[in-house]
Structure 1
Amino acid sequence: MGATRRVVLGALPAVAAAAGARAASQPFERWLSELRAEARAQGISAATIQGALSGIAPIQRVIELDRRQPEVTLSWAQYRDRVVAEPRIGNGRKAFAENRALLAAVEQRFGVAARTVTAIWGVETNYGATMGGFPVVQALATLAYDGRRSAYFRGELLNALRILDQGHIRKERMLGSWAGAMGQPQFMPGSFLAYAVDFDGDGRRDIWDSRADALGSIGNYLRRAGAWRPGGPWGFEVTLPPRFPIGEADGRTMRPLSSWASAGVRPADGGRMPAGDMPAAIAAPDGAAGQAFVLFPNAQAVRRYNNSTYYVLAVGLLSDRVGG
């Protein structure tokens, strides 16, 4: 789900940007030698650099995937029917039930709803079943060398080396998507360094094989990066009045809920609009003829995980179904 969206720690040094600009114009081994020197200058141990970068080469399949990403445009209804569907719903209910105690502990510590953590886990990796099989260091080295977004991926490659240097995971187990998103939450390395937590207390932040660390890290991300409001709702489906200015239904423009109620927005189930002035946005991604939703601040927190209205709505709807 948009693997390169995650936060990167800090600003890249000027040498990285300059190296990125000329990356693919020089042999890979020479480029790799410069990267080794930069990693060593940043305090990464010689042993980690040697172990992680020896014997690697660009992965042609990664380059193909980066350059030939399918340009498929889905409507919200099509996306919803792919993502918020079986078997993801049934598997989510099972995962929610089997991990109830762990999810309750995550919710207690971070204040993030257990059902939302479960839904993100489900959308990202089908509850840990599909984490990706690309070696992260080699994939990031490929993208950093290739040149299209080399500065970004060079920074993430250095972050991946830091993770290895800190002993959180072995190189052989550091697998992920072709773009370097890792583990059950699909964190980029920079987001791992910023938000991953050692929830099981074993001294390592292992988002691959420790379910506790993976789910705790999702909770920590939403709490810190997304400013989650404990106990708050994500939103619900609504109906829009005739001639509603559909340009205002962008999923981002926050107004008091009472303002939308005064404009004629009503719950789709026929009930009354909740009272109060909680900030809310209206999302109608398929236009006036499609579904519409009220989105509260917690939905905007999910947007920080993936800046897509489709994603936000899918997580919200799936959370209602798996945790009901």
Structure 2
Amino acid sequence: MRKAWSGIAVMLLGCSVSVSSYATEKDDFQSYVQKLKTQASESGISKTTIDAAFKNVTFKPKAIKADNNQPEKKLTLDEYIPRAVPDWKIKQAKRLYHENFDDLQRIGKEYGVQPRFIVALWGVESNFGRFTGNYNVINALTSLAFDGRREALFRKQTMAALTIIEQGHISADDMKGSWAGAMGQCQFMPTSFLSFAQDGNGDGKKDIWNTKADVFASAANYLKQEGWDDTYTWGRQIHVPVGIDQNLQGRDESKGKMLQEWSKLGITRLDGKPLPKLNQDIKAWLIMPDDESGRSYLVYNNYNVLMKWNRSYYFALAVSSLADSI
């Protein structure tokens, strides 16, 4: 299947390719789509859903190009955080927090998640629902599965997307998302939707595309199910003494230490004041995403939960920073 993409890639580069070769590519893709239809039918998806989902499906080279050409440039946290959490986004987050205060308080209490983190995730993931992607999800996922580089992953996501349509949460035409199939204002992949999406307003649907209460409840449920504890925050930026053993950093379970143990190793708050003494000490991990020359943090288990949402230190720190600003 990977080979089937090569002809179209040559076309995109402006080289000539025969009409018969292009026709073969189209035939190969349509043959693959038929296999997906068969799998969906055997999995119990109705013919009505299958026909609606695949009626206009076409191969989308842009999705493949985006998958193969993700940005490689690495910014430092000092460069990244101001871009990810600029002043205008902080102002919007505070405004939207107050505008949706009642729903956020209700949902936060129900799921045991501080509302400021729900809003922060919403803001970092989709700019509060403004950037959710305009790809037809079935089209994007089918193209990525056909490409073959990560076929098992995207085939599984395609089947999950069909299940969502079958359950009546969204129509096939309205199921829009990113080039990778991440959907709605909280950018759930279809399998995450099936595991975590919630009906936040009681209308019988889980609409993470248009219904803010559903977006909030779905994000909160994800955090809750992954181990969030609203007794604590996420962590803090800290100052580490010169020459600290670099082997101490990392999020492996074995590297976690109680806050007062870190204090005895010379770690302080960023302003040099001692770490807080809590009634009940808390386990923390030392992370230095930009090595010892950059920012350093002590993070709690809630930060580890954010890392399950997105395996990027930078993403989790952007969400944490925005939550603190709220």
Q: Which has the higher contact order (CA 8 A, sep 6+)?
A: 1
1:72-122: CA deviations, max 9, x gaps?
Answer: 112222211211213211111111111111111111110011111111111
SS at match of 1:274: coil
Larger CA Rg, structure 1 vs 2: 2
1:305 aligned to which of 290, 293, 309:
309
CA deviation profile, 1:182-213 (whole Å, cap 9, x unmatched): 00000000000000001111011000000000
Q: Confirm or deny: 8 A CA contact 1:282 1:293 kept in the other structure.
A: yes
8 A Cα contact 2:144 2:154, kept in partner = yes
Instruction: Please say which of residues 44-53 and 253-262 is displaced more in the overlay.
Output: 253-262
Query: Identity, % of aligned pairs?
Result: 36
CA distance in structure 2 between the aligned counterparts of 1:247 and 1:99, rounded to whole angstroms: 44
Kindly state the Cα deviation for residue 251 of structure 1 after the two structures are TM-superposed: 4.6
- In structure 1, what residue type is equivalent to 2:67? D
CA contact (8 A) 2:263 2:274 kept: no
Superposed displacement of residue 22, structure 1: 9.2
Report if the CA contact (8 A) 1:222-1:301 is conserved: yes
Q: Which residue of 2 aligns with 1:32?
A: 33
Residue 288 in 1 paired to residue 292 in 2? yes
Give the counterpart letter for 1:223 in structure 2: K
* Higher deviation after alignment, 237-246 or 158-167: 237-246
- Other structure's SS at 1:281 match: strand
1:223-234 matches, within 5 Å, as: 223-224=224-225, 226-234=226-234
Whether 1:200 and 2:201 are equivalent positions in the alignment is: yes
1:9 aligned partner: none
Q: Runs of 5+ in structure 1 lacking a partner?
A: 1-19
Following superposition, the deviation at residue 270 of structure 1 comes to: 3.3
| Structure 1 outlier segments of 4+, above 3 Å | 20-26
Correspondence 1:202-241 to 2 at 5 A = 202-224=203-225, 226-241=226-241
Q: Which amino acid aligns with 1:171?
A: A
Question: TM-score, with normalisation over the residues of structure 2?
Answer: 0.89
- Of 305-314 and 199-208, more deviation after overlay is shown by 305-314
* Separation in 1, partners of 2:263, 2:136: 51
Map of 1:249 onto structure 2 = 249
The answer (yes or no) to whether the contact 1:144–1:153 under 8 Å persists in 2 is yes
SS at match of 2:243: coil
Deviation at 1:172, TM superposition (A): 1.9
Q: How far, CA to CA, are the matches of 2:173 and 2:102 in structure 1?
A: 31
Whether 1:317 and 2:321 are equivalent positions in the alignment is yes
**8 Å contact from structure 1 (residues 250, 285) kept in 2:** no
Secondary structure of residue in 1 paired with 2:67: helix
Give the superposition deviation at 1:176: 0.6
Q: Which amino acid aligns with 1:249?
A: Q
User: 2:161 corresponds to which residue?
Assistant: 160
Q: CA deviation at 1:164?
A: 0.3
- For 1:91 and 1:246, the matched residues in 2 are separated by 38
SS in 1 for 2:161: helix
Name the structure 2 match of 1:7: none
How far off its partner does 1:139 sit?
0.4
What amino acid sits opposite 1:88 in the alignment? K
CA contact (8 A) 1:28 1:145 kept: yes
The 2-side partners of 1:269 and 1:41 are apart by: 61
Separation of aligned partners in 2, 1:213 and 1:179: 22
Query: Could you say what the CA RMSD is over the residues aligned between the two structures, in angstroms?
Result: 1.7
The residue number in structure 2 matching 1:14 is none
Q: Which moved more, 1:57-66 or 1:240-249?
A: 240-249
Q: Look up the match of 1:103.
A: 104
Q: Number of aligned residue pairs: give it.
A: 302
